[in-house]
Amino acid sequence: MGGQTREPFSDATWNAFLRRWEQGDYRASFFRDMVLTDVRRLGPRPTVLDIGCGRGLDGEPALQRSLAEQSGAYVGIEPDPAIPAADWFTQVHRCRLEDAPLEPASIDVALAVFVIEHVRSPKTLFRKIFEVLVEGGVFWAFTIDARHVFALASLLAQGLRIKQWCIHHARDAGVRCDVEVYPTYYRANTPCAIRRYSAGFRSVRVMNLHQTGQFDAYLPRRAHPCSHGLDRLAALLRLPGPMLVARLEK
């Protein structure tokens, strides 16, 4: 879109999304709507890059399709050959973003949903994102905060080589666990780390998110009261929540 710059993503918009989350908004539609705000702002019909496009936006193909319908071109990055590409993609690159043959300054909005925790070299990733964005383009990252116990548990399970077993056991118990087992590093998963790797971007905003019941989909129903109590206690103590949202504008 040639580096057009419209009215920026305002503080009022940012705070409105924060209130939505605190009121229990559904995670996937919350993420989609944040991205959609910039897609519409930078339109009409901008070029959108979905990094780790996988099985939909946070596992929701319909939400991914709705985002693609607002785009002029919807480009995917998906290194896993076992995951099929949906028909709403203009093109899909079967490689890491760092290796994708994307033209510099060719992307208006990029997004990565639960991707950057799997990146071994964040410096290279963020450099590539900066390169492919137009002037005024935006990158959205949705990920797990490395300061939260969820990230620590994930790394522990990976180190003990029981992560695959935990996921299969959860699925067998009827718990939603629609994730693939990829190595996690959490090297760019704190506000400080994101700001360190995003040098050069003119605007960097990071939001840590708390929500009571945020892990209900991943736990048996009998565990919900305990989980909700821990969520409330963490918020009361002002401990970091599990979700991290970052918006970087070039």
Class (C level, CATH) for 11-146+183-249: alpha beta
Q: Write down the pLDDT at residue 119.
A: 95
User: Got the DSSP string for 168-216?
Assistant: HHHHHTT------------TT-SHHHHHHHTTT-SEEEEEEE--TTTTG
CA 169 to chain centre: 25
Cβ atoms of residues 59 and 178 within 8 Å: yes
Q: Write down the pLDDT at residue 127.
A: 98
Backbone torsions φ then ψ of 182, nearest 5 degrees: -120, 155
In angstroms, what is the C-alpha Rg of the chain? 18
Bridge partners (DSSP) listed for residue 75: 49, 91
Backbone torsions φ then ψ of 206, nearest 5 degrees: -130, 135
Q: Write down the pLDDT at residue 217.
A: 65
On the 0-12 / 13-18 / 19+ scale of CB atoms within 10 A, 194 is buried
Rounded distance between C-alpha atoms, residue 75 and residue 85, angstroms: 11
Which pair of tokens denotes residue 3? 């580096």
Rounded distance between C-alpha atoms, residue 198 and residue 200, angstroms: 6
Enclosing H/E stretch for 41:
helix 27-41
Q: Write down the pLDDT at residue 4.
A: 46
What pLDDT tens digit does each residue of the chain (250 aa) get?
444 445 578 889 999 999 999 888 999 999 999 999 999 999 899 999 999 998 999 999 999 999 999 999 999 999 999 999 999 999 999 999 999 999 999 999 999 999 999 999 999 999 999 999 999 999 999 999 999 877 767 776 666 665 554 555 454 444 455 555 678 999 999 999 999 999 999 999 999 998 887 767 666 678 788 878 877 887 787 888 889 999 999 9
Q: Write down the pLDDT at residue 224.
A: 81
Rounded distance between C-alpha atoms, residue 160 and residue 154, angstroms: 10
On the 0-12 / 13-18 / 19+ scale of CB atoms within 10 A, 244 is buried
Q: Write down the pLDDT at residue 29.
A: 96
Cα distances (Å, whole numbers) of residue 207 to 6, 155, 242, 250: 22, 22, 11, 18
* Bridge-based pairing state of the strands 47-51 and 107-113: parallel
Q: Where are the beta strands (DSSP E) in 2-151?
A: 47-51, 73-77, 91-93, 107-113, 133-144
